Amino acid sequence: MKKRWLVGIFAIVLCLQACGNKEYKPRKIVSETDICKICNMSIVHKEYAGEIALKNGDYEIFDDLGCLVEYMKDMDEDDLGKAFIKDKSGKKWLDVKTASYVYDKDIWTPMSYGVIAFQTKDEAKKYIEKEGKGELLSYSDLDTFKWGVHH
């Protein structure tokens, strides 16, 4: 009898775990087929790409952080699983909401918005120090940032 109870409890725990927080991971970008959801540009510069993993399992792909932020502004927050952006090196995916950002009009990005991502604030500060220019931004700053007006 005890055994049956234990098995039952174990099964319930498993079920509850499955219904709990889903882990969202970025998917691989395919240059041949992926285009930006906002501007329709094909993703040839993967090192600047962004992704949104939707709760329904779909992905939306973006060529530039600016396009991703524009999409996030209009989307239903309940649909959002997790948003990702490539870091400065172009190799690592970062959580858009926790990353730090640097803007400078001379930084080239596919849409020439000039904003790049770093995992930590320290990394972003070091970049600004090294380049001798750039403005430090947080995720909340991106919401009010005027994309593309420097041209």
Binding site for other proteins (CB under 8 A): 31-33, 35, 39-44, 111-112, 148, 151
Give whichever of 17 and 33 is closer to other proteins, judged by the CB atom. 33
Please give the structure tokens belonging to residue 109: 């990005």
Give whichever of 56 and 140 is closer to other proteins, judged by the CB atom. 56
Give whichever of 67 and 99 is closer to other proteins, judged by the CB atom. 67
Whose CA is closest to 66, among 86, 50, 44, 87?
A: 50
CB of 27: closest distance to other proteins in angstroms? 17
Give whichever of 33 and 144 is closer to other proteins, judged by the CB atom. 33
CA-CA distance, 60 to 29, in Å (whole number)? Answer: 11
CB of 124: closest distance to other proteins in angstroms? 25
The DSSP result for 21-60, as a single string, is PPPP-PPPP-TTT-B-TTT--B---GGG-EEEEETTS-EE
CB of 68: closest distance to other proteins in angstroms? 16
CB of 104: closest distance to other proteins in angstroms? 15
Give whichever of 37 and 82 is closer to other proteins, judged by the CB atom. 37
Cβ atoms 71, 79 nearer than 8 A: no
CA-CA distance, 56 to 109, in Å (whole number)? Answer: 30
Other CB atoms within 10 A of residue 100 CB: 22
CB of 58: closest distance to other proteins in angstroms? 11
